[in-house]
Amino acid sequence: MSDEISVVAARPLRRDAQARRDALIAAARLCFARAGYFVPLEDIADAAGVGRGTFYRNFKDRMALALAVFEQEIERMRARLDPALPLDEALTQVVLDGAETATLFARLALDMPRDGADRAAFDGLRQRLERLFEPIAERAHRDGTLAPELGARDLVLAMRMLSGLLLKHNNAAERRQQIDDALRLLLAGLRPRSISRS
């Protein structure tokens, strides 16, 4: 009976611990976007409504937290990305849905030290992101909208380039027009080139 009670009592603690971890990740995402990678950890803990001790029970250091933010963003993108979409629609969707993620990535990439195990973890997340685009690249190869020598890695680069165009103060219609205009130019470079011989 006592074992039963201890198991039941432990469940809310695990749920609370997960809620605190989620709060830290959400707060870090906002703080990193606003102040960069070296934002004081106390600011992140305060924004999450937890103490510094709770931070270190969940993350060994700043890099571990940044990687957790990226991992969560990749999972969100995976849930949103429809691999059945044609190339232009897939790029439009992921850019409009993931503009803030791309901005965050660019902001952190300026400051974030990446070496040793941290570099390996960061590269692993980048590869996961590229794998999300593999079905889209394969479909685009089949329908002739992506040159055979280009692949998922190139589509991630295209996504980042397009995301850099979006401005926060623009409304949804203006953002969509920016993407449409840029895609016409970008897709011309992604398509297979016909070789003419004189």
Cβ-Cβ contacts under 8 Å for 67 (sequence gap 6 or more): 118, 121, 122, 125
Residue 197 lies in a domain: no
53, 125: one domain: no
- Would you state the pLDDT for residue 168? 61
Range of the domain at 13: 1-59
In-domain check, residue 173: yes
Q: What is the pLDDT of residues 69-124, one digit of tens each?
A: 989 988 988 888 888 889 999 998 888 887 777 777 777 777 777 677 777 887 88
Say if residue 1's pLDDT is above 90: no
**pLDDT tens profile 160-176:** 888 877 766 677 788 78
pLDDT of 6 reads: 36
Amino acid at 103: T
The contacts of residue 169 (CB under 8 Å, 6+ apart) are none
| Residues 66 and 30 placed together within one structural domain of the fold | no
What's the distance, Cα to Cα, between the start and end of the chain in Å? 88
Amino acid letter for position 86: P
> Do 122 and 38 fall within a single domain?
no
pLDDT for the residue numbered 12? 44
The verdict on 97 and 159 lying in the same domain is: yes
What's the Cα-to-Cα distance from 4 to each of 7, 8, 10, rounded to whole Å?
Answer: 5, 6, 10
CATH number at residue 27: 1.10.10
Instruction: Please tell me whether residues 46 and 123 are part of one structural domain.
Output: no
The pLDDT value given to residue 198: 42
46 and 80 in a common domain: no
- Look at residue 145 and tell me if it is in a domain: yes
Asked whether residue 14 is assigned to any structural domain, the reply reads yes
CA 95 to chain centre: 11
Token digits of residue 192: 């297979």
Mean pLDDT of 183-196: 74
Give the number of other CB atoms < 10 A from CB of residue 142.
9
Q: With respect to residue 18, please indicate whether it lies within any of the assigned structural domains.
A: yes
Within a domain: 101 = yes
Domain co-membership, 50 together with 67: no
Examine residue 28 and state whether it is found in any structural domain, yes or no: yes
- How many folded domains does the chain comprise? 2
* Same domain membership, residue 80 and residue 132: yes
Which is it for the CA torsion 115, 118, 120, 125, positive or negative?
A: negative
pTM: 0.74
- 75 and 101 in a single domain? The answer is yes
Rounded Cα gap, residues 177 and 190, in angstroms: 20
